[in-house]
Amino acid sequence: MQPDWEQEYVEFVTAAMPKMRRLAYLLCGDAHRGDDLVQQTFTTLYVRWPRVRTVHHLDGYVRTVLIRFFQGEKRRLWSRRVRLTDSPPEPLPRGGPDVEERTVLRAALDRLPRRQRAVLVLRFLCDMSVTEVAEALSCAPGTVKSQSFHGLATLRRLLDEPSVAALATPSTAAAPSIAAGLPDAKGRS
């Protein structure tokens, strides 16, 4: 790559990094996996830089690439699954009820299909419009609306489930059905 293009790339990446890290973190619910996603996205961007550096609205392009990698992440994890060993359980962040509420909500969100998860995060945490989300996910606005509706309905139903609610009060859980989907140290679930 030409040195001046590489300098452009470095400047763009440096500026876009915080925003992309936040998006990846919200999608994955895990800083490490989020950073993997960001690294994958920006490495791909490097390869494509000579072609895309002049793209209009480059931010949006990179966001779309990241979301596509997120949606395809399962496949990459799948191909790595043989080597997964459980890491020693890491302590979750210290904290009180707020941490527990986040843990429960995250566990429920992680049970949604990836596209629904992406729709909810983009619409209601990143404040993107239906049209913008549709563009980012390469689907029709109607699909975004229906995915939003079904995703929220499922999320609310899961949050009412005793198995998910048990995460909030694990020490008192007499029922054995602690929810699956509790993210463990390497994101295997």
Partner 1 sequence: MQEIDEDGARKLLRPLDGDPDQPSAVRVETLLRAGRRRVRRRRMLAGGGLTAATAVVLVAVPVALAAVRDAGPGQVAQPGYPTPDDRYATGLTPPPVPTRCTPYRLPLPPGATESQVLDGDPSGRYLVGIARDGRTARTWTLRWDRGVLSVLEPPTTDPAQLLVNSQGVVAGDGIAVRDGTAVRVSWVYRYGRYVDLTDSAGSYLGDVLDLNEHGDVLGGVRTLALQGKPAGTKGGPPEPPGGQGGTPGDGAGASTPAPGGGRSDDHTLVPGRQPVVWAADAERSPTRLAGDGSGEPYVTGLDDDGTMVGGTVQFGADRAARMTVWPPDGKRRTLAPPRGHGVNPGHLSIRHGWVLGWSYPPAGGEEKVVPTRWNLRTGEVAPLTGLAWVSAINRYGWVAGFVRDASGVETPAVLAGERTIVLPMPAGAVPGKEGPAAVSVSDDGRVVGGVVSVAPDDAATAAVRWTCE
Q: Which part of the chain contacts partner 1 (CB under 8 A), choosing from 59-67, 132-140, 174-182?
A: 174-182
* Cα distances (angstroms) measured from residue 33 to each of 27, 103, 115: 10, 16, 17
Would you say 138 or 157 has its CB closer to partner 1? Answer: 157
- Piece of the chain touching partner 1 by CB under 8 A; list 53-61, 62-70, 132-140, 148-156: 148-156
Count of residues engaged in binding partner 1, rule: CB under 8 A: 88
d(CA 106, CA 100): 10
Min. distance of Cβ 55 from partner 1 in angstroms? 17
Q: Could you tell me the CA-to-CA distances from 95 to 22, 89, 100, 151 in Å, in that order?
A: 21, 17, 8, 28
Q: How many Cα atoms are found within 13 Å in the side-chain-facing hemisphere of 114?
A: 13
Give the range of 52-60, 62-70, 100-108, 133-141 binding partner 1 by CB under 8 A: 100-108
45-74 binders of partner 1 (CB under 8 A) = 45-47, 49
Taking alpha carbons only, the member of 28, 26, 37 closest to residue 121 is 26
> Any contact of residue 95 with partner 1 (CB under 8 A)?
yes
